[in-house]
Amino acid sequence: MITTRFYHLFLGVVLLVLTACAAADPSLEADMSPATSGIAVLSWDPNTGTDLAGYKIYLATASGAYATPIATTPIDVTTYTVTGLAPGTTYFFVVTVFNTDGTESSFSNEARTIIS
């Protein structure tokens, strides 16, 4: 019997909304437990605001080397499962929130995990 363990990355996303633009950096845990089976399960606290549209999730294999988001979720979705991660690799994650005009907050602090 194969047991698959999932570890949650809790992304504590705390934002201030100032005059129709997403502002302030989200906050998340700095380290995740080692993930297995090539999967990382991300979750974060929901944000509130009248014009928020969703979240963008970023992944990198080097600290701070974020480019294009790997996923975008609606504002009412606060989890995301990343699959296809390579064993022995360290992955870094950040999240942002964006509003209905497309304005995006700064990156959250960085969380990381090593796939085992």
Quick one: DSSP state of residue 63? T
Topology classification of domain 8-114: Immunoglobulin-like (2.60.40)
pLDDT, tens digit (0-9, with 9 covering 90-100), for 69-82: 999 999 999 889 99
* Pair 108, 96: CB distance under 8 Å: yes
Quick one: DSSP state of residue 10? E
Task: Look at strands 16-18 and 111-114 and give their pairing.
Answer: unpaired
Report d(CA 106, CA 15) in Å as an integer.
Answer: 10
pLDDT, tens digit (0-9, with 9 covering 90-100), for 2-19: 433 333 444 333 332 222
Report d(CA 22, CA 16) in Å as an integer.
Answer: 7
Residue 109: CB atoms within 10 Å: 14
Q: Tell me how far CA of residue 8 lies from CA of 20, 27, 111, in angstroms.
A: 31, 15, 11
Res. 45: pLDDT tops 90: no
Q: What is the CB-side half-sphere exposure of residue 38 using CA atoms within 13 A?
A: 4
Residue 14: predicted pLDDT: 30
